Structure 1
Amino acid sequence: MGNQLAVVKESFLPFMSITWVTENSMVAAGRDCNPMVFSYGEGKITVGAKLDQPQKKQSGNIGAMNRFKNLDKKGTDSNTATDIKTQHQNTNQVSVHTGTKNDASKVATSGLDGNLILWDLKSQEFSIQALRIA
């Protein structure tokens, strides 16, 4: 069987790393700060879902403890519109943590932000409606 080129044009930023997690699914991580799942079938690649679903922020006044955490983490106490709503501030590597490339149950992502995050694909599949890992 020969190689086949597939192009996916969407609004997300370029990827730095892609790894297979099942025979038909892969996880990609890159400049978008949010790992994404893609599926391959019938000769085409389809976008699944983003693994990092943004948490809704509390409205109202920011508490003293949260203000200190923001000051410590970002060097500011304000929540501006430029805040990144994902756990990574950048992501440049994704790899299988638990399982194999034919049947991974967990993947790890890391980035220049110093974060290493483990993603449980099976629990993510239940919590994210659009995510199907086949």
Structure 2
Amino acid sequence: MIDRAAVCVKWSPLEDRFAVGSGSKLLAVCWFDEESDWWIGKKIKKPIRSTVTCIDWHPNNVLLACGSSSDFHARIFSAFTSSGPSESVWGKHTPLGAVLFDYSDGEGGWVLSVSFSADGNKLAWTKHNSTIFVADASISATPIVTRLRTDFLPFVSCIWIGPSTFVAGGYDCCPMLFRYNEQSISFVHQLDTKSESRYGGKVTAMKKFQDIDRMATADNTSSRLPTIHQNCINEIRILKGDRSMASELSSVGRDGNLVLWNFPTLSEQIADLKIV
């Protein structure tokens, strides 16, 4: 079905299908066919013109969002087969492969991550030019796209953790909380509070070996970042709760670390914070 690398794969919410994004410039939607007693797949190719770098399923188990590399587009396709709702705020779901949303700001930058909100009415995505986007289909017949150009390094992963909040992480090695409200995106705060003293104390032989292995140096003082992750965050997942209200996250990075982020309910967490 594909003759290039499979770059990303994700099960649908009901776990009866999965989607694969590849270097073949296509999406493959796969499911088990009981009549043939075999897994089958359907290609979604047009209008994708480059490697599919990221995918995410809509909560209704029918729509599929994806981001591409060198064509710089975020898109929503229908993955409708024989079951599921026939339409939503994004439009009609039939036939399979129908394009319900297609957006590019024209400024370049690979799309690195896409994420549907819990209600499925909003889609957030991040690009390699350090911008964050939210498309809101609940406001009007045509989805409204809001953009925030940040001063941070690019975000590799993003995920909604509340009705109007999402977390993104990437090359700054720190998960960051953002809020979407009334067609505006605002940075709230970092989940990892930087602390110089966190890494103080005796340096063991094992720690020196880890520094050599991960950062090609044994100098623990000059190379260590003031964050828990010491390299780019590859992915952020919800550990407790769901996208409507998450209470614990996990993140994995290129430093080989898996980090758990435990915080109170979102309302308690941001009650006394000011948006900057």
Partner residue in 1 for 2:242: 100
Query: Which ranges in structure 1 are unaligned for 5 or more consecutive residues?
Result: none
**Match among 172, 175, 178 for residue 35 of structure 1:** 175
Root mean square deviation of aligned Cα:
2.7
How big is each residue's C-alpha offset from its partner over 1:85-112, in whole Å with a ceiling of 9 and x where there is no partner? Answer: 1111210101111001001101111122
Partner residue in 1 for 2:208: 71
Please state how far the C-alpha of 1:123 moved relative to its aligned partner: 8.0
Larger radius of gyration: 2
Structure 1 distance, partners of 2:175, 2:153, is 11
In terms of fraction of residues, the more helix-rich structure is 1
Query: Which ranges in structure 2 are unaligned for 5 or more consecutive residues?
Result: 1-137, 213-217
1:90 is the counterpart of 2:227: no
Structure 1 distance, partners of 2:261, 2:191, is 8
**What is the TM-score with the length of structure 1 in the denominator?**
0.79
How big is each residue's C-alpha offset from its partner over 1:15-66, in whole Å with a ceiling of 9 and x where there is no partner? Answer: 11110000011000111111100011111110011111112238xxx76x32
4+ residue runs over 6 A deviation = none
Please state how far the C-alpha of 1:69 moved relative to its aligned partner: 5.3
In terms of fraction of residues, the more strand-rich structure is 2
**What is the TM-score with the length of structure 2 in the denominator?**
0.41
Partner residue in 2 for 1:23: 163
**Match among 11, 20, 23 for residue 151 of structure 2:** 11
Structure 2 distance, partners of 1:57, 1:123, is 28
What is the number of residues matched between the two proteins?
126
